[in-house]
Amino acid sequence: MIEPIQKAVDLIRSFHPTQPTIGIILGTGLGALANEVEIDVVIPYATIPGFPLSTVESHSGQLIFGTLSGKPVVVMQGRFHYYEGYSMQQVTFPVRVMKWLGVETLLISNASGGLNPAFDVSDLMIIEDHISLFLPESPLRGQNSPQLGDRFPDMSEPYGKDLVWLARSIAKKLGFPIQTGVYVGVTGPQLETKAEYRLLRQLGADAVGMSTVPEVIVAHQMGLKVFACSVITDLCIPETLEKASLPKILAAAAVAEPRLTALMKELVAGL
């Protein structure tokens, strides 16, 4: 994997030699933060060696380099999912590239279903921990080079406690409520049955989604500090379950997006 990473890094640096210290991955329907970036250069994924192409209609598929809140950032406007047919190594390849570009902190957003009965649609939930047991394989499976990180990374604290504390403080300062909880990653693309939602809730999950966990595992292996936030775009309560649809999910994300954007901007400023 070392050679493909280096090829991608070399290509990107030929367009943008400045080193970003903060990486941001934008989730489904949550691309507006990119509009807040003072853009230096935009690089389509299709031009970067080793990068997959995003096939989800709400994901733009480009790397944005510039400045946000006075800090040099690289923003993934569009991410990759296992359900698109990519391997876990392909899904997480951009995280490895960002690390080699100089990124030290990774901020992630996603759209997820709320399993906690106390949640409402369009709530923000800071991810404090996750469950990866339902993913088909680890993104660390296969040969490992010391250049990529530990063979057996400890996952007792995948999300930085200081970043969680800072985000909660920012939300309080900005005057909006924010939830915290455990995120469970699943493969998708089908949504879960009532029985599956019931099981996931009994296991201790507060929200469920089809992304984030693989990226966090790789980021943690490579020594990046990680913060992640979910937008609750639908409620997955078995007793009151309603049919979900992409238009409803995107509409719920749009309601939460201004708060998420404000949170991320302040978080970047505080790093």
pLDDT band at 61 (very low <50, low <70, confident <90, very high): confident
What does the alpha-carbon distance between residue 229 and residue 126 come to, in Å, rounded to a whole number? Answer: 4
CA distances from 263 to 129, 176, 252 (A): 19, 10, 17
* Distance between CA atoms of residues 92 and 74, nearest Å: 15
**Backbone φ, ψ for residue 136 (5° rounding):** -70, -25
Rounded Cα distance between 241 and 130, Å, is: 23
**pLDDT of residue 183 exceeding 90:** yes
Q: Which residue has the tokens 């009151």?
A: 240
The predicted model gives 46-62 an average pLDDT of 78
pLDDT score recorded for residue 244: 85
The percent of residues above 90 in pLDDT, for the chain, comes to 85
| Predicted pLDDT of residue 55 | 66
The SS3 call for residue 155 is coil
Residues 158-171 have a mean pLDDT of 97
pLDDT of residue 27: 86
Q: Are 125 and 176 in contact (CB under 8 A)?
A: no
Question: What pLDDT, on the 0 to 100 scale, is given for residue 78?
Answer: 87
Q: Is the pLDDT of residue 165 over 90?
A: yes
Dihedral sign, Cα of residue 240, residue 116, residue 262, residue 61: negative
85-99 pLDDT, tens digit each: 999 999 999 999 999
Query: What is the rounded radius of gyration, in angstroms, for the C-alpha atoms of the chain?
Result: 17
Give residue-wise pLDDT tens across range 97-130: 999 999 999 999 999 999 999 999 999 999 999 9
Which has the closest alpha carbon to 112: 186, 47, 52, 222?
Answer: 186
What pLDDT does 43 receive? 95
Predicted confidence at residue 58, as pLDDT, reads 53
Cα-based distances in Å from 58 to 55, 214, 244: 9, 20, 16
List, in sequence order, every residue forming a beta bridge with 114; answer none if it has no partner. 207, 235
Question: What is the torsional sign of CA 176, 192, 202, 166?
Answer: negative
Q: CA-CA distance, 252 to 236, in Å (whole number)?
A: 14
Q: Is the pLDDT of residue 57 over 70?
A: no
Phi-psi map region of 149: left, alpha, beta (phi>0 left; psi -120 to 50 alpha): left
Are the C-beta atoms of 81 and 94 separated by less than 8 Å?
Answer: no
pLDDT at residue 56 in the model: 62
Backbone angles phi, psi at 238, to 5 degrees: -55, -35
* 50's tokens: 């080793």
Give the tens place of pLDDT for each residue, 227-246: 999 999 999 998 889 898 88
Across 152-170, average pLDDT = 96
Domains of the chain: 2-270 (3.40.50.1580)
pLDDT per residue as tens digits for the range 24-45: 999 876 788 889 999 999 999 9
For residues 125-139, average pLDDT: 96
